Every structure is written in C-alpha cells, then in structure tokens.
Amino acid sequence: MAAAHGAGPNLFVEETDWYNEILLGAVVPGGWWRGMPHPMRSWLRNTVGGFLLYFVTGFLWCFVIYYWKRHAYIPKDSIPSIEAMKKQIIVASKAMVVYCALPVVSEHMIESGWTRCYFHVSEVGWPMYFVYLALYLIFVEFGIYWMHRELHDIKPLYKYLHATHHIYNKENTLSPFAGLAFHPIDGVLQAVPHVFALFFVPAHFRTHTALMFLEVIWTSNIHDCIHGKVWPVMGAGYHTIHHTTYRHNYGHYTVWMDWMFGTLREPEDILKKD
C-alpha cells in the first residue's frame, strides 16, 4: 500500500493535478477544464496526451521511413497506401478515448492507496528501485504475452475483438499507425497487466506513468516492419512475423516469453531490399 511506504495518497493527487496543469494548460484553450471532476480532468489529459504521442510519433516516423529515407528501410512494394494508414488512424482514434480511461482507473487506485505504488525513490532506495522495476517489467511481459496469446486462442475473443487488429496481415498493410488500431476493449485488455502489477510489485509512480504512455511509442515502433536486430528486443521484425503467421511472437518488449513457451520464430530476411 502507498501509505505503508510513507507517502499519503494526496501526493499522488497533487502529482496528477500537476500533469493536468502542464498539458491541459498548454494545449486546451481557456480554463474551463479546471471545473471538471479530478478523474475527468485526468481522462482529458490522458486523451490529449495519447493523441499527441500517437500522431507525432506516427507522422514523424512515417515521414522518415516512407519519404525522407524512402526505400532505405522498406522495399517500395511494402509501403502501405495512404488509404490504409487513414483507416488505421480512424480505428485508433475511435478507440483512444477508451484506452485513456485505463490510466485514470490506475491513478484512482494509486491515489486511494489501494496499490503498492510508492512516490519517492528514497522510500525504497535505488538498488531496490531497479529490482522492483525488473520485477514489474517481468510481470507485465508475462501478462501481456498470455493476454495476447489468449486473444488468439479463444475463438470468440479473436473473432469479436482481436481480428480488428489482424486485418493488417501483410507488410504493405502495416504502418506505425497500426500500432493502436485495435478494438478498444482489446487494447485495454492488453494494457491491463500494467495495472495488475501495481497490486503485486512496488512500483514507482512516475515510472509507471511513463511506461503506460511509452506504450504508444513502442506499439508504433513494432509495426513499422523494420527489423532492428537488437536481441532480445521484440522488435518489428518479430512482430511482422506475428501478423503474417498469427501463431508466433506474442511477446511485447522481449522474445523471452515466446522462447520459454515455444512460440518464438526468428525473422528470416522478411524485408529484403530491392
């Protein structure tokens, strides 16, 4: 519990209010949003921040790989059409308002003192900060792997939820914008391990918040079809295989869970240059 670490829930409320002031104060005209209930302000901040990250990351990376460095990374027959990217943006934009409710739930639980989240690194010390961070990431990696795998293995879940994402099943249909193009419930389910981890592993609040929003950047990166070849990172080369075989590479940040549970498939020159 937060209180057990010496930090009252008010510190977390003050922190999230500070986030709201920084982002909403900078990009939302007027101060009308300050009259909203605290959870609604946080949801608005998350939504605005989510859209900014999604569009800035997506457009910047698409500009680099499809135009500035055209054909340097992606063969011309693997570049998605403008129309395909527009459809991905529409799907992701419709779901974003739901995705951004999950951090509000986690923040409320943290602010209420229901989790093992702590506020200051000094409460545990730097050595334990890194130990807890490693445990947190392992928990999240394990949880996302099995959530993702069950979204494939349980047929109704695949048909009604995950199939929305897997219409992008060829290299020329994948782009950074496909990273958040999910059925909204599917997207929330795959992020839920971040929230569950808070009940089992002491987590630094700012680190947890940063990791939740880095998901936007990470998912954009692993859908760009560029194989980074940085072992054991579950980069786009591995994830492209997932989109073309449906039965491999369910992992999130690393290949370890797929290796442990027998679903790993290595990239085999899937994107040869012309």
Q: What is the pTM (predicted TM-score) of this model?
A: 0.90
Q: Is residue 17 within 8 Å of residue 132, measured between CB atoms? A: no
Rounded Cα–Cα distance for residues 84 and 67 (Å): 16
Q: Is the pLDDT of residue 260 over 70?
A: yes
pLDDT over 90, % of the chain: 76
Q: What pLDDT, on the 0 to 100 scale, is given for residue 79?
A: 87
| Three-state secondary structure call for residue 226 | coil
Residue 233 has φ and ψ, to the nearest 5°, of -70, 135
Rounded Cα–Cα distance for residues 148 and 117 (Å): 25
Q: Is the pLDDT of residue 4 over 50?
A: no
Predicted confidence band of residue 76 (pLDDT cuts 50, 70, 90):
confident
Q: What pLDDT, on the 0 to 100 scale, is given for residue 273?
A: 42
Q: What pLDDT, on the 0 to 100 scale, is given for residue 73?
A: 79
Token pair of 142 as six digits = 């394990």
Predicted confidence band of residue 74 (pLDDT cuts 50, 70, 90):
confident
Mean pLDDT of 141-166: 97
